[in-house]
Amino acid sequence: TTQITELSVNGQSHQIEADADTPLLYILRNDLELNGPKFGCGLGECGACTVLIDGVAARSCVLPLRSVAGHDITTLEGLGSSASPGRVQQAFIDQQAAQCGYCLNGMIMTIQALLNRNPHPTEQQIRQELKYNLCRCGTHVEIMAAARQAAQ
Ligand code: FES
C-alpha cells in the first residue's frame, strides 16, 4: 500500500509517496532523479546500484523503502559534483578508470565505504572489498589504480 516515507538523501529530506516495498533504487532514480546509482541485475549481485546507508555500502535494488527510513542515504551525487569531485571520484577521473562506465557508481561507492572505515587500506583489502562488484569491460587494472590513488 502507498504511504508517505521520509527519506534523507545527500543531506536533504524528502517526503516520498510510494509503496513501502518499492526498491530504494527506483525511488532514487525515478522520483529524485539521482541517476548515479544504476540498475544492473536488480538482484543484489552486480553492485551497480550501490549507495551508502549511514556510510556503509548497500545495494539499493534490493533495499525496500521501508528499511531505509530514518537513515542517512548517500548517492554518488552526494560525494561531489563535476565541478568539485570527491576524492574517490577524482581518482577515477585521474586514472581514466572507465570503459563503458556502468559499474563505476558501484566501484566508487564501495571504495568510499571502505575508506570510511579504513582511510588507508592495503591492496588486498581493496581487492577483497571490490570482489563482488562486477565490471564486464574488464577495466579492473584502471579501477585498482584509481582505488590505490584514493587510498593514499
Ligand atoms: Fe543492484 Fe545489481 S542492480 S546489485
Q: Nearest 10 degrees: CA dihedral of 71, 127, 40, 8?
A: 10
Helix 123-130 / helix 104-117 crossing angle, nearest 10 deg: 130
Nearest atom of ligand 1 to the alpha carbon of 39: 3
According to the model, what pLDDT value does residue 68 have?
A: 97
**Architecture per CATH, 79-150:** Orthogonal Bundle (1.10)
According to the model, what pLDDT value does residue 110 have?
A: 98
According to the model, what pLDDT value does residue 1 have?
A: 85
134 and 40 Cβ atoms separated by less than 8 Å: yes
* Per-residue pLDDT reduced to its tens digit, 78-95: 999 999 999 999 999 999
Nearest atom of ligand 1 to the alpha carbon of 38: 3
pTM across the whole model: 0.97
Which residues of the chain register pLDDT less than 70? none
Mutation to probe ligand 1, out of 24, 49, 75 (largest number of atoms < 8 A from CB): 49
Fold for 2-77, please state it: Ubiquitin-like (UB roll) (3.10.20)
Write out residues with Cβ below 6 Å of ligand 1.
39-42, 44-49, 59, 61
SS3 61: helix
According to the model, what pLDDT value does residue 78 have?
A: 98
Domain boundaries, the chain: 2-77, 79-150
Q: Is the ipTM of this complex over 0.85?
A: yes
Residue 128 C-alpha cell reads as 577483497
In this structure, the residue with its CA closest to atom 4 of ligand 1 is 44
134 and 109 Cβ atoms separated by less than 8 Å: no
Q: Distance from the CA of 33 to the center of ligand 1, in angstroms?
A: 18
